[in-house]
Amino acid sequence: MASPASRRPDGTEQVSLARPGRSLLNLPGMHVHGRHAWQALRPFIPELRAYNAASLRADLQAGLTVAIFAVPQAIAYALLAGVPPAHGLFAAMVMSAIAALWGSSRFLNTGPTNSAALLTAAAVAPFIHDPRLLTIVYTMTLLVGLFRLALGLLRMGVLVEFVPESAFLGFTVGAGILIAFGQLHHLLGVEPSHIAWFPQRLVDIVGRATDINPATLAIGLSVAAIMFATDRISRRIPVALIALALAAIASSLLSPTLAVPLVRDVVPLPSTLPVPTWPCLDLAVIHVLLPGALAVAIIGLIEAVSIGQSLALKHREEIDFDQEFIGQGLSHVVAAFLQGIPGSGSFSRSMLLECTGARTRLANVYFAGFTALALLLAPGLLNRIPISALAGMLIYIGIKLVDFRRIWRVVQTSWADAGVLVLTCLTTVLIKIEYGIFTGMLAAALIHLKRTRELHLAEIQPGPGHFEECAYEPGEAHAPSDVVAVAVSGDLFFGIAHELRRVLREIATAQRPRHLVLRVRRTYSIDYSCWSALLDFADAYQSEGGRLYLCGVRPDFERIIGHSHARAILAPSQVYPADSHIMRGFERCLADILTSLPANTTLSPRWQAYRVSLAQP
């Protein structure tokens, strides 16, 4: 750990010789704790044992409330995915129960979501005219589940931390644009376009303005307007259900004069529960679906863990990422055999579940039961919902996904992150939605590599009672001195090995030191490439009459020097281990060097004064 430092007006940095204190920040929910394998198979058992009547009442109320909100939402997402509406309800009821029982969060509601529906539609687009389309969608659900289940069993929950928020935000913005305008043909009441590229498809649909059905347009815009106008009370009142009910009434009044397409005109909702169905296991189909399934799996896990983590922190609880991966994967594997479409954690439904008083994960099980009852008891009412009303709801959902406040915060924080956001969004909208999040992750990784490729090197010089550091600027004039000390910090990895070798050679050439001290206490890691650069330089430097010293050497660095047979180049007398005092090894090294130098040694004024101070009692 670096010592506390204060910057002087001339740009140098004063390093305190006092030992710094240590601090540890522990936040609830920020750490993932492993569980015994047997506990991971039955994580719901402790809650069942402690269950009581008060929890039952609270969970039943929350489950019913969220089901009222979720039924129209599930139908809309099925429409977005390009499948009959019933499959959105099937997915909602199956996934919510399984993911809740075998997951980690007690509030996370799993089921159809906007991003999963969009990605599914894009992934199965090559099979849109295939008579096996529905079984291919079930195969997509199965692949998503297997990916997530494998990541959970392999304990890869930590991977979520490597997805930058700017990339995820850019994908969300792009998904919002696709959702808001992807169902434009239903809103306008015109025939869908068969053009694959989204911008061109949008132009094609808008170009059919003369064929617009004014009734469908009015109903869709009215639903969107109601949703926006009542946004602040939508968690307390089932606004979506009311808006769709009003749309159904309006369509029935207009039906004698204007035809308004209804859900039953697309594929009517059945009044039965899902029956077991076998997915399509054609290897050629699986090969085409794999990239899209991987995208859905990763993006869905990011969504689910982010939602679960935010709610866990709010209640001072912990979430097990790996267990959540298992729950998400298992829910999809089961749903694949019960006619479900891919999904993920839903922020709106999860927040509503928590706000309405849910106490345990069983609230999601009750939600599944109420959703099944809606399908069994009210299919006639659901079939009368106008398709354009669902399109209006999707417009509302898509626009709400564009969080302008967070976008502005990213722009104000970092232009690099803003670039990742824009690139991810453009890739999602203009190229292919499956590539969006991966493009953002790749761009962020390249930016990170560029940042870490900078060599952080500082020249150390003695001052009155302290040492001062200032950044070593290659190319600047430096006074010759037989003793030169520099500090290197950060990670020394292959990307800066060439720069490290070049700068050390420049120091040796420009200042011609006989003793070059390299302080590595603030170096977190050194890979093979940088060790080779250091040893190659030390070997060549020694043949020219100079000596390289390493100070603040950690025990693992010492083991590397010993195991790599580098003692012939870096003798024990040239390696000074780190100890409890932050500058002690550095001071011992300087004392050994300066007291052994002859009187006629060339030293800079500061090093000469420090040498004199060492000789004083």
Strand 109-111 relative to strand 13-15, pairing: unpaired
Q: Evaluate if residue 33 carries a pLDDT over 60.
A: no
Total domains present in the chain: 2
The alpha-carbon radius of gyration of the chain (Å, integer) is: 32
Closest C-alpha to 440, from 179, 163, 115: 163
Strand 344-346 relative to strand 456-463, pairing: unpaired
386, part of any domain: yes
Q: Is 389 helix (H, G, I), strand (E, B) or coil?
A: helix
Final residue of a domain: which of 396, 416, 448? Answer: 448
Contacting residues for 37 by C-beta, under 8 A, at least 6 apart: none
Q: Tell me: do 457 and 409 sit in the same domain.
A: no
pLDDT, average across residues 310-329: 82
Residues 291/296/298/303 CA torsion (nearest 10 deg): 160
390, part of any domain: yes
460, part of any domain: yes
Q: Tell me: do 401 and 519 sit in the same domain.
A: no
d(CA 244, CA 224): 10
Final residue of a domain: which of 448, 473, 496? Answer: 448
Neighbours of 509 (CB within 10 A): 8
Q: Evaluate if residue 355 carries a pLDDT over 80.
A: no
Q: Is the separation of the CB atoms in 135 and 280 below 8 Å?
A: yes
d(CA 349, CA 142): 23
pLDDT for the residue numbered 157: 74
| β-bridge mates for residue 461, sequence order | 468
d(CA 348, CA 235): 9
Q: Evaluate if residue 585 carries a pLDDT over 50.
A: yes
The tokens of 315 are what? Answer: 């209640």
Neighbours of 275 (CB within 10 A): 10
Check residues 519 and 20 and name the one with the higher pLDDT. 519
The tokens of 578 are what? Answer: 């780190």
Contacting residues for 30 by C-beta, under 8 A, at least 6 apart: 313
Check residues 408 and 232 and name the one with the higher pLDDT. 408
Confidence grade of residue 138 (pLDDT, cut at 50, 70, 90): very high
Closest C-alpha to 293, from 89, 80, 146: 146
pLDDT for the residue numbered 543: 92
Residues 298/140/311/58 CA torsion (nearest 10 deg): -170
Condensed to tens digits (0 to 9), the pLDDT of residues 409-453 reads 999 988 899 999 999 999 988 987 778 878 888 898 888 888 777
Q: Tell me: do 170 and 230 sit in the same domain.
A: yes
pLDDT for the residue numbered 131: 93
Q: Is 569 helix (H, G, I), strand (E, B) or coil?
A: coil
pLDDT, average across residues 567-573: 87
pLDDT for the residue numbered 261: 87
Weakest-pLDDT range from 30-39, 202-211, 368-377, 445-454? 30-39
Q: Return the CATH number at 531.
A: 3.30.750.24
Q: Is 519 helix (H, G, I), strand (E, B) or coil?
A: strand
Q: Tell me: do 173 and 117 sit in the same domain.
A: yes
Q: Tell me: do 218 and 345 sit in the same domain.
A: yes
Q: Tell me: do 417 and 465 sit in the same domain.
A: no
d(CA 486, CA 471): 9
d(CA 475, CA 478): 9
Q: Tell me: do 442 and 483 sit in the same domain.
A: no
pLDDT, average across residues 540-552: 93
229, part of any domain: yes
Stated pTM of the model: 0.68
Q: Tell me: do 128 and 159 sit in the same domain.
A: yes
Confidence grade of residue 135 (pLDDT, cut at 50, 70, 90): very high
Condensed to tens digits (0 to 9), the pLDDT of residues 34-59 reads 445 556 677 888 888 888 898 898 89
- φ, ψ of residue 227 to 5 degrees: the values are -65, -45
Final residue of a domain: which of 448, 479, 509? Answer: 448
How many helices (H) and strands (E) in the chain?
26, 11
- Concatenating the DSSP letter of every residue in 126-182 gives GGTT-TTHHHHHHHHHHHHHHHHHHHHHTT-GGGGGGS-HHHHHHHHHHHHHHHHHH
d(CA 579, CA 591): 16
Q: Tell me: do 458 and 442 sit in the same domain.
A: no
Confidence grade of residue 26 (pLDDT, cut at 50, 70, 90): very low
Closest C-alpha to 144, from 320, 307, 340: 340
Condensed to tens digits (0 to 9), the pLDDT of residues 255-281 reads 766 788 888 887 788 888 999 999 999
248, part of any domain: yes
d(CA 229, CA 233): 9
d(CA 540, CA 480): 19
Q: Tell me: do 469 and 546 sit in the same domain.
A: yes
Q: Evaluate if residue 512 carries a pLDDT over 50.
A: yes
| β-bridge mates for residue 484, sequence order | 516
The tokens of 443 are what? Answer: 């761009």
d(CA 387, CA 87): 16
205, part of any domain: yes
339, part of any domain: yes
Tell me which residue range forms the domain holding 596.
453-615
27, part of any domain: no
d(CA 590, CA 516): 10
Q: Tell me: do 501 and 578 sit in the same domain.
A: yes
pLDDT, average across residues 114-122: 89
pLDDT for the residue numbered 8: 42
Q: Mean of the per-residue pLDDT values for the chain?
A: 84
Q: Tell me: do 68 and 125 sit in the same domain.
A: yes
Weakest-pLDDT range from 76-80, 308-312, 591-595? 308-312
